[in-house]
A = this chain, B = another copy of it.
Amino acid sequence: MLVTGAGGFIGRWTLQPLLARGFEVHAVARALPADAAAGVTWHAADLLDPSQRATLVSAVGASHLLHLAWYAEPGAFWAARENAAWVAATVGLVDEFATAGGERAVLAGTCAEYDWTADGVLGEDSPIAPATFYGVCKDATRRVVEGLAARAGVSVAWGRIFFLYGPNEDARRLVAGVANALVVGERAATSTGAQRRDFLHVDDVGAAFVALLDSEVRGAVNIASGEPVTVRSIVERLASAAGRRDLLDVGALAPRPDDPAELVADVTRLRHDVGFVPAIDLQAGLDATVAWWRGHLRSDR
């Protein structure tokens, strides 16, 4: 099997579950990671370069594809022009995978495909109306890839990622930013945090993608916990784990005007059709995240 974005935040958590299920794992990343997992065959390639991509896909000849790579610069990815290039690269990748004899592909989608102005819990059949260019590009990719795969005899599923956290997260993102600030003794300013979100530990996100790949489930599947939690509760738990509630400044930042009150997944398909149950409880996961940041203090301190 071939996994893209294998050195990324989610990708690195798919390698052990893939090996544990008996896959022969070919991992691709733009640059090979320093801590490359044993038992995995690594390939350095830029998937945005059509010739590098085609050469890799043809050489590996994988039966299974787990495509996690995409432009992911924190903050910038929502509106970046680079999303368009990833549409073309992803459609090309699936086309080449099918031509090389591929049978089963799972791709990373996003909860940003859904209409966020609708109330309540988001099921896979909830209205689609992406408000961001990232969401537009993921949604367009899914529509094209599903039709392409049906014509090319490839079974495809599309994992819609909600919110996630865990070790190695970019410190410009919420949980990592707060956890890092707290362990280095800096003030952590947040909004009031009243918005309810669906958070899943990145280890479980990776394992859920692998479970989906190893199933026969087709179409969109939410990759989430199904359990709403306020952002305030998340940051307060981080502060407690760090023993630094004094550094937490909840309400110091203005809420974003378009921020929906609730984004929570219906996880019936993931639980019942795929049979995946998360292993990491939120409290334990946040405690472990704070511990990880303690062990990875910024080198300038």
Dominant secondary structure of chain A at its interface with chain B: helix
Contact residues in B for A83 (Cβ distance below 8 Å): 144, 147-148
Contact residues in B for A92 (Cβ distance below 8 Å): 85, 88
Q: Map CB proximity to B onto A128-153 as digits: 1 under 8 Å, 0 otherwise.
A: 00000100110111011101100110
Check A95 for interface membership: any CB of B closer than 8 A.
yes
How many whole Å from A191's CB to the nearest CB in chain B?
27
**Known pairs A79-B151, A133-B151, A151-B133; A84 contacts B144 (CB<8 A):** yes
Q: This chain: how many copies in the complex?
A: 2
Q: Map CB proximity to B onto A112-131 as digits: 1 under 8 Å, 0 otherwise.
A: 00000000000000000000
Contact residues in B for A147 (Cβ distance below 8 Å): 83-84, 133, 136-137
How many whole Å from A77's CB to the nearest CB in chain B?
13
Q: Map CB proximity to B onto A42-61 as digits: 1 under 8 Å, 0 otherwise.
A: 00000000110000000000
Contact residues in B for A137 (Cβ distance below 8 Å): 144, 147
Partner of A143, one of B79, B94, B140: B140
Q: Map CB proximity to B onto A82-97 as digits: 1 under 8 Å, 0 otherwise.
A: 0111011101101100
How many whole Å from A129's CB to the nearest CB in chain B?
11
How many whole Å from A126's CB to the nearest CB in chain B?
17
Asked if A81 and B148 make an inter-chain contact with CB atoms under 8 angstroms apart, the answer reads yes
Across the two chains, which residue of chain B brings its CB closest to A147? B133
Across the two chains, which residue of chain B brings its CB closest to A54? B50
Check A80 for interface membership: any CB of B closer than 8 A.
yes
How many whole Å from A229's CB to the nearest CB in chain B?
32
CA distance A88 to B87 in the complex (A): 7
How many whole Å from A225's CB to the nearest CB in chain B?
30
CA distance A81 to B79 in the complex (A): 29
Across the two chains, which residue of chain B brings its CB closest to A84? B148
Asked if B91 and A87 make an inter-chain contact with CB atoms under 8 angstroms apart, the answer reads yes
Asked if B91 and A95 make an inter-chain contact with CB atoms under 8 angstroms apart, the answer reads no
Partner of A95, one of B50, B85, B144, B151: B85
CA distance A143 to B83 in the complex (A): 12
Question: For window 17-69 of chain A, which residues contact chain B by CB distance below 8 Å?
Answer: 50-51
Give 16 new A-B contacts, CB below 8 A, not counting A88-B91, A133-B147: A50-B50, A51-B51, A79-B151, A80-B151, A81-B151, A81-B152, A83-B147, A84-B91, A84-B148, A85-B92, A87-B88, A87-B140, A87-B144, A133-B151, A136-B147, A140-B144
In the assembled complex, 15 residue pairs joining A and B whose CB atoms fall closer than 8 Å, in A order, are A79-B151, A80-B151, A81-B95, A81-B152, A83-B144, A83-B148, A84-B94, A84-B95, A85-B92, A87-B88, A87-B144, A88-B91, A136-B144, A136-B147, A137-B147
